[in-house]
């Protein structure tokens, strides 16, 4: 049975540009690299960057994205750092909590968010009459 997410891999077109973005702008920790890739840590989460010539930089039109957790005290600082660096937003936040939705250099959709699943569930219970909380014992 699945017990978590092992790692996330992003196909990138330029490793140096992606490393600058993920390490110098976002603050992920570089733990290893080679000619065509690198391993980073985002907290305890392993992120892989792999150079892939087939990568199309066009962001998908759907809502699929990866949300990075951030401490509330760091949210505004990092959001402003990204905006000052010209990082492109792809969506305005309309849900609970603070979120900044943005694109990496290869068009991957990312989000900064600091609330918890409990915060989101509470917000949904209060704002969406169709929401039903389901507990699974599986």
Tens digit of each residue's pLDDT (9 = 90 or more) over 54-68: 998 888 899 899 999
Domain count of the fold of the chain: 2
Shared-domain flag, residues 92 and 116: yes
pLDDT at 138: 39
Q: What is the pLDDT of residues 10-54, one digit of tens each?
A: 999 999 999 999 999 999 999 999 999 999 999 999 999 999 999
Asked whether the predicted pLDDT for residue 137 surpasses 80, the reply is: no
* Paired tokens of 72: 């509330």
Q: Which residues form the domain of 34?
A: 1-53
CA dihedral 26, 109, 122, 132 (to 10 degrees): -150
Asked whether the predicted pLDDT for residue 136 surpasses 60, the reply is: no
Report d(CA 83, CA 102) in Å as an integer.
9
Shared-domain flag, residues 2 and 22: yes
What would the mean pLDDT of 116-128 be, rounded to a whole number? 85
Report d(CA 46, CA 6) in Å as an integer.
7
> Has residue 88 been placed in a domain?
yes
Shared-domain flag, residues 128 and 69: yes
Question: How many residues are given for the chain?
Answer: 138
Shared-domain flag, residues 102 and 43: no
Give the CATH number of the domain where residue 102 resides: 3.10.180.10
> Has residue 59 been placed in a domain?
no
Shared-domain flag, residues 29 and 79: no
> Has residue 40 been placed in a domain?
yes
The rounded percent of the chain whose pLDDT value lies above 70 is: 98
Shared-domain flag, residues 34 and 1: yes
Shared-domain flag, residues 90 and 28: no
Q: What is the pLDDT of residues 53-108, one digit of tens each?
A: 999 888 889 989 999 999 999 999 999 999 999 998 999 887 777 899 999 999 99
What would the mean pLDDT of 109-117 be, rounded to a whole number? 90
């Amino acid at each position: 049975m699945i017990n978590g997410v092992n790692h996330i891999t992003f196909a990138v077109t330029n490793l140096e540009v992606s490393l600058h973005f993920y390490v110098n702008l976002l603050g992920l920790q570089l733990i290893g690299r080679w000619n065509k890739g690198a391993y980073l840590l985002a907290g305890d989460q392993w992120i892989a960057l792999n150079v892939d010539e087939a990568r199309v930089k066009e962001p998908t039109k759907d809502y699929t994205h990866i949300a990075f957790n951030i401490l509330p005290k760091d949210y505004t600082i990092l959001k402003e750092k990204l905006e000052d660096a010209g990082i492109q937003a792809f969506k305005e936040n309309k849900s609970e909590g603070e979120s900044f939705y943005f694109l990496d250099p290869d068009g991957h959709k990312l989000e900064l968010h600091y609330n918890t699943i409990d915060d989101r569930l509470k917000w949904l219970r209060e704002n969406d009459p169709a929401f039903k909380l389901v507990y699974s014992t599986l």
